[in-house]
Each structure stands twice: as C-alpha cells, then as structure tokens.
Homo-oligomer: A and B are copies of this chain.
Amino acid sequence: MADLVVVGSIALDSVQTPFGKVTEALGGAATYFSYAASFFAPVRMVGAVGADFPREHLELLGSRGVDLSAVETLPDQKTFRWTGEYGFDLNEARTLDVQLNAFAAFKPALGPAHRAARFLFLANIDPVLQLEVLGQMARPALVALDTMNFWIEGKREDLLRVLARVDVLMVNDAEARMLAREPNLIRAARSITAMGPKTVVIKRGEYGALLYYQGQFFFAPAYPLEAVFDPTGAGDTFAGGFMGYLAQQDSTDPAAMRRAMVRGAAMASFTVEDFSLDRLRRLDRAELDARLAAFAQMVRLED
C-alpha cells in the first residue's frame, strides 16, 4: 500500500440536469477523486477553499481518512464555483459560469509527507499549478494528469511542459483529439505518447473507457445503468478509483492498470446515480465488490 496525492479543485457546484438540480453542492475534481480513492488507499489532498466553504464538507472527507493538511482555507477568498447544465444527452456539460476564486490566488507548498508520496494525480486545473506541484514531489512512481479543452487551447505550451513529465494522461475523446490534433482516436492516443505519457486513458462516458500503452489496448465498459441523474464528477471518480487501486497495489504494471480501469469504471458508475457525492456517500464496500463482480462478468468470455 502506497499513498497518493491529488491537486485539483474543491468546489461548490450548481448543476441542472433533466432529472433535477442542485445549488452550491459539494463538488470539485479533487473532492470526487479523493472520496473515490479513499476506498482503496490513503489520500492527501492539495487545494484551497474560501472562508465560505461549509465545514461539514471537510469533515466528510476527513471521515474517509483523507489528509486535509494541505487544503488551505484562504480567509479573504470565496470557494471555487462551477455552474453547469446537461441536456438529455448527458455526455456533455454546458458550462454556464466558472469562478476560480480561491484557486486564482493559491500557491501550494507541500510538506515532506506529500513530497514523498509515490502516486500523484494532477486533476484538471491550470497546468502552471500542476507543474508547480509536480516540481515539489521527490520521486513519484506514477504521475497521472487530467486536463480540458480550456487549457489545451489556452495554455498549450504550459500543458506540454507538464505532460513531458507525466506517465498517464486521462482525458475524454474530444480532448484527446484536440490535444493530438488528430481526428482518429487511435492515432491520437499514439501521438500523445510521444508528448510524454506512455499510457493514455480515454474516457468515453456511457461507452466506457480505453487504455492505450505500448501499442496495446484495454477496454473497460461503462456499467449499464437504468437511471443516470448527473454525470458531474464521473471522470474524477474514475480517476480516483484508478489511482487509488494502483496506490493500494503499489504497482504501475500493465496488469494492475487493467484492473485499475475497472475500479475506475465502477466508482464512476455510482457517482452518476445521484447528484454531488450523494451516491458515493451511501456506498459501502459490499456494494462496490458486487459491482466489480458484475463488471468482470460483463467481459468474461470463458465459462
């Protein structure tokens, strides 16, 4: 068992889907990631909130054993806020408003325990901040990174600088195509490995996820759900399950990554069943194990 550091947003999300809405609910990439990863390994969060951030949210993460010592509360700032909506095609969010707030001013300073962690996840945030955190790490065994169209278009040079030092890129198909400037997804994945990450994980929402490494592919299906309420956080919980499992196994080998993909897909399948972290909060280990067994069954070829 190794430990795991994540840097990324801790947010208050206002989300509308065809099935309901929430206002200023707990969200943020680092939040979803940490909660999911906590089922597998010890997690240390790096991030910032404003003075307005409800204490109960930090207590919830603390109750999962998440180390919050590097989560700064900036007294003169407000918490990061995201407002978005989904139509009946739940595959794509429309962002209505983003307020960086605390993250605009945030300068992370990692302590010795964080610097020594063997697994690092750079959640989707300014690549300059991702590079700042990566630069403070001693010698991680595996670094994974998520990003989005905003940074791919707006801060491509910074992003390429951090990508050169990363082992795993985790993005959705549109982001992979945009980053590689190549419409064919398979060629895009291969071209991304020349930028640094030897492994590329492509998240495709209801169609599952694809792992590419050393010319080989692995597919993890999405769990077939009869009701998807809110896809917000699915990608980050996928990353949490994936990285949490690798940290738990303290392994970076291809077989562990395949099993990690299924952990990621399982965690994501719970997240989308309710708003915010509500479904994850009701999740217990037995339910998770049952869903992992169902995943294995979904791709099992032999009797």
Using a CB–CB cutoff of 8 Å, the interface residues on chain A facing chain B are: 88, 183-187, 204, 206-208, 210, 216-219, 221, 224-228, 255, 258-259, 262, 296-303
Contact = CB atoms under 8 A, between A and B. Distances in A.
Contact of A207 (B186, B207, B301): B207
A225 B185 CA distance: 9
B258 A301 contact: yes
What is the total number of copies of this protein in its complex? 2
B224 A299 contact: no
Given A262-B301, A299-B299, A224 B185 contact: yes
Contacts of A303: 255
A255 B228 CA distance: 29
With most chain B CB atoms within 10 A of its CB, the pick from A185, A187, A224 is A224
A292 B249 CA distance: 30
A186 B226 contact: yes
A273 to B, nearest CB: 13
B186 A258 contact: no
Contacts of A219: 208, 219, 221, 298-299
B224 A217 contact: yes
B225 A186 contact: yes
Given A185-B206, A207-B208, A218-B299, 17 more contacts: A88-B183, A186-B226, A204-B207, A208-B219, A210-B224, A216-B297, A217-B224, A218-B300, A219-B219, A219-B221, A219-B298, A221-B221, A255-B303, A258-B301, A259-B301, A262-B301, A296-B301
6 contacts: A185-B224, A186-B225, A186-B226, A217-B224, A219-B219, A255-B303
Contacts of A296: 301
A184 B228 CA distance: 9
Contacts of A255: 302-303
A226 B190 CA distance: 10
Contacts of A206: 185
A255 B301 CA distance: 7
B299 A184 contact: no
Q: Which 3 A-B residue pairs are closest in the complex by CB-CB distance?
A: A219-B221, A299-B299, A207-B207
A199 to B, nearest CB: 15
A152 B216 CA distance: 40
A227 B184 contact: yes
A183 B259 CA distance: 31
A226 B188 CA distance: 9
B301 A299 contact: yes
A288 B107 CA distance: 55
Given A204-B207, A207-B204, A303-B255, A298 B225 contact: no
A224 B186 contact: yes
Contacts of A185: 206, 224
